[in-house]
Structure 1
Amino acid sequence: MDATINAFVGLHIIGIAALLGGFLTQTKAMASDEARMTPAMLHGALTMLVTGLTLVGLDQADDRDVNNVKIGIKLAVLTAVLILVYVKRDEARAGKAAFGAVGLLTMTNIFIAVMWT
């Protein structure tokens, strides 16, 4: 079971990298209001959702303690990111507020995962 959980943790990190990497590559364009939501950002967020839910299920199946409050908050933050990225995915410009919110919420989710024990 540990190998499966570790594989899904790796996939979860790849999803985070795709979402945050897509954001960081567009930060220069954000200054000139030219930033847009890239397909990598959407796919990264979806990967995070699927692998995160799978990890919770695997942890519960392995009788590990799951902090449901933490998972609920992370899910709410990721849902907000997904909605923003999905709604703005086809627009030529995402807008500074929406694009900045995606970056801020993504980093918030990372810090919740790392610092909330």
Structure 2
Amino acid sequence: MDVLINVFVALHIVGIASLLGGFLTQVKAMGDGTARFTPPMLHGALTMLITGVALVGLNQADGQTVDNIKIGVKLAVLIVVLALVYVKRDEERVDKGMFIAVGALTTVNIFIATLWT
């Protein structure tokens, strides 16, 4: 079970990298007012959602305790990010504030995962 959990953790990190990497590649474009949500950002957010839910289930099935409040907060933040990226995915330009919100919420989610004990 540990190997399976570690595979899903790795896939979860790949999703985070895709979402945050997509954001960081658009930072210069954000200054020009031409930033947009790229397909890797959407796919990264979806990967995070699917692997995160799987990780909760696998950890509970393995008998490990899961902090449901922490998972709920992370899920809420991710759903907001996913909704913003999904709704604006086809637009040529995204509002600077909305674009910054996605990057900030993704970073907040990373800090929640690593610092909330």
> TM-score normalized by structure 2?
0.99
Equivalent residue, structure 2, for 1:89: 89
CA drift of 1:90 comes to 0.2
> 1:87 is aligned with what amino acid?
V
> 1:52 is aligned with what amino acid?
G
Counterpart secondary structure, 1:55: helix
* Separation (CA, whole Å) in 1 of partners of 2:56 and 2:15: 16
Equivalent residue, structure 2, for 1:4: 4
Equivalent residue, structure 1, for 2:44: 44
- Stretches of structure 1 that go unaligned for 5 or more consecutive residues are none
> 1:66 is aligned with what amino acid?
V
Alignment of 1:11-90 (within 5 A): 11-90=11-90
CA-based RMSD: 0.4
Alignment of 1:101-116 (within 5 A): 101-116=101-116
CA drift of 1:32 comes to 1.3
Counterpart secondary structure, 1:90: coil
CA drift of 1:33 comes to 1.0
4+ residue segments displaced more than 6 Å: none
> TM-score normalized by structure 1?
0.99
- Stretches of structure 2 that go unaligned for 5 or more consecutive residues are none
Question: Aligned residues: percent identity?
Answer: 68
- Figure out how many residues of one structure are paired with residues of the other and give that number: 117
* Separation (CA, whole Å) in 1 of partners of 2:59 and 2:66: 7
* Separation (CA, whole Å) in 2 of partners of 1:6 and 1:55: 9
> 1:106 is aligned with what amino acid?
T
CA drift of 1:71 comes to 0.1
* Separation (CA, whole Å) in 2 of partners of 1:19 and 1:59: 24
CA drift of 1:98 comes to 0.8
* Separation (CA, whole Å) in 2 of partners of 1:75 and 1:52: 8
* Separation (CA, whole Å) in 2 of partners of 1:41 and 1:27: 13
